[in-house]
């Protein structure tokens, strides 16, 4: 079995199983929301498309952020800590990088899982029992490499123990170069953005590093219009 990494969604990489990583913070939050009891998460790139889902479906909570700040009129932001209890059956989230990565992965993989450190153990077990080659698709930031996502790709690649492509080998070596996930996340552009936005958001860095605390393995179910539908 082989593990590959696409450090950005545009990178050419395909495998039967794709795992999307946007660890600070979209995929951490999706894992937390589904573990807490939301039955479905709909991810949209555009804010208006998330708002439209509230008109279309019953019992929809709106979550998401732009530049670290909760979106005007939305119920919740993008901190995993806001999703410890479900507020309705369905969550609609507007996230740019994460949603694009999910759609890109769905175009070239038979199945797409959602990865983070929070669900690390369950994710690795589910991937191993699928028994297929894997590509870890990092969401990155606006099409560019993100250190936090690459770090988590390295953690997953190492845990899988499969044969590694050049990219997977580089990701595993990146992990070895840090003392901890928190050190890597704090140095990343996404982590520095949280730190710059004050102690409340800074605390999310540590929240996203807790490995294996959730059992949820979110899977991409299909597109619902322009929204990517995710269920555990």
Residue 145 makes contact with its own copies by CB under 8 A: yes
Q: Which is nearer to its own copies, 11 or 121 (CB)?
A: 11
Residue 222 makes contact with its own copies by CB under 8 A: no
C-alpha 95, offset from chain centre: 10
Name the CA radius of gyration of the chain, rounded: 16
Q: Which is nearer to its own copies, 5 or 35 (CB)?
A: 5
Give just the sign of the alpha carbon dihedral 139, 140, 141, 143. Answer: negative
Residue 173 makes contact with its own copies by CB under 8 A: yes
Select from 41, 147, 157, 216 the one that contacts its own copies (CB under 8 A). Answer: 147
Residue 129 makes contact with its own copies by CB under 8 A: no
| Near its own copies in 72-91, by CB under 8 A | none
Select from 49, 81, 130, 169 the one that contacts its own copies (CB under 8 A). Answer: 169
Q: Are 221 and 231 in contact (CB under 8 A)?
A: yes
Select from 47, 170, 195, 211 the one that contacts its own copies (CB under 8 A). Answer: 170
In the chain, beta strands by DSSP E? 2-6, 17-21, 40-44, 60-66, 69-70, 90-94, 111-115, 134-138, 163-164, 219-224, 227-231
Q: Which is nearer to its own copies, 108 or 219 (CB)?
A: 108
Spell out, one character per residue from 177 to 206, where the chain touches its own copies: x when CB under 8 A holds, - when not: x---------xxx-----------------
Q: Which is nearer to its own copies, 94 or 97 (CB)?
A: 97
69-70 and 60-66 beta bridge pairing: antiparallel
Instruction: State in angstroms the smallest separation of the CB of 104 from its own copies.
Output: 11
Within 10 A of 62 (CB to CB), how many other CB atoms are there?
Answer: 21
Q: Which is nearer to its own copies, 120 or 141 (CB)?
A: 141
Q: Are 211 and 50 in contact (CB under 8 A)?
A: no
Token pair 């199945």 in the structure block, residue: 111
Q: Which is nearer to its own copies, 91 or 167 (CB)?
A: 167
Instruction: State in angstroms the smallest separation of the CB of 18 from its own copies.
Output: 15
> Could you tell me the two tokens for 159?
């845990």
Helices and strands (DSSP H and E) totals, the chain: 9, 11
Chain residues binding its own copies by CB under 8 A are 4-5, 7-8, 10-13, 141-147, 150, 165-167, 169-170, 173-174, 176-177, 187-189
């Amino acid at each position: 079995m082989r593990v590959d990494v696409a450090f950005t969604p545009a990178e050419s990489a395909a495998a039967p199983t794709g795992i999307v990583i946007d660890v600070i913070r979209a995929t951490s939050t999706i894992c937390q929301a589904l573990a807490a009891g939301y039955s479905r998460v709909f991810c949209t790139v555009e804010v208006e498309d998330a708002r439209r889902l509230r008109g279309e479906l019953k019992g929809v909570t709106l979550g998401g952020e732009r530049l670290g700040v909760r979106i005007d009129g939305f119920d919740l932001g993008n901190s995993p800590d806001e999703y410890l209890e479900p507020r309705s059956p369905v969550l609609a989230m507007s996230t740019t990088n994460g949603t694009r990565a999910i759609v890109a992965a769905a175009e070239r993989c038979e199945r797409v899982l959602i990865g983070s450190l929070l669900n690390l153990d369950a994710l690795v077990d589910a991937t191993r029992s699928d028994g297929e080659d894997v590509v870890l698709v990092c969401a990155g930031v606006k099409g560019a490499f993100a250190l936090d996502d690459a770090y988590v790709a390295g953690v997953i690649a190492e845990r899988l123990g499969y044969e590694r492509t050049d990219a997977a080998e580089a990701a595993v070596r990146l992990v070895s170069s840090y003392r901890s996930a928190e050190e890597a996340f704090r140095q990343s552009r996404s982590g520095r953005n949280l730190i710059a936005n004050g102690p409340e958001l800074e605390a999310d860095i540590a929240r996203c590093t807790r490995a294996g605390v959730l059992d949820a393995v979110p899977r991409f179910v299909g597109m619902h219009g322009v929204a990517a539908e995710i269920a555990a």
